[in-house]
Amino acid sequence: IFINGEINDDISALVCAQLLSLESDNPDKEISLYINSPGGVVTSGFAIYDTMQYISCPVSTVCMGFAASMGSFLLMAGTPGRRISLPNATILLHQPLGGFQGQASDIQRHAERIGRTKRHMAELYAQHCGRSYEEVERTLDRDHFMTAREAQSWGIVDHVFDTRKKAA
C-alpha cells in the first residue's frame, strides 16, 4: 500500500479499504505500507492509524523520501520491529495545525479540541516510541526534522535499510 502525497479523506478511505481487504485475503500475512507524505488531515490519519491497530496482520511501515506530520505518525504506528526508513529519508514531527475563524466562543472550542488532539497524539507517540510524554510534548512543540538515523534513535523507526536484502 502506498501513501504518496497529502493524507486526506479520499486517501484515508482507500488505504483503510486496502488494509481491510488484504487482511480478509490472509489475516496472517504482513502488509507493507510505504509512506512519502507531507502529512495532512488529522482525522483522516487517525482513521488509518486505527485501522492499522485494528487488523490482525502485522503492518510494516517504510519511509521513502519524506514522512511529515501525520506521515511520521503513521510511520511510527507500524508493528514494532517492522518500522523502516530508507537512508536518505527525512522525518518531521510537530504538533497538529489548525486555523479557525468565527465567533469567539467557537474559536475557543476549536482551540480546546486541538489541544486535546495534541495531547492525545503526544500520548501515542510516547507509547509507540518509548519516550516520556513530557519529552514528546517538548519535541512536538516546534517543527522537529530528523534524519533516518535520528528517527531510529528516537524510536520512530526500528531499522534503516538501503537495500531490500538487508531488510530480509
CA distance 84 to 61: 6
Active site residues: 69, 94
CA distance 161 to 87: 6
Instruction: Work out the burial of residue 110: count CB atoms within 10 Å of its CB; fewer than 13 is exposed, 13-18 middle, 19 or more buried.
Output: middle
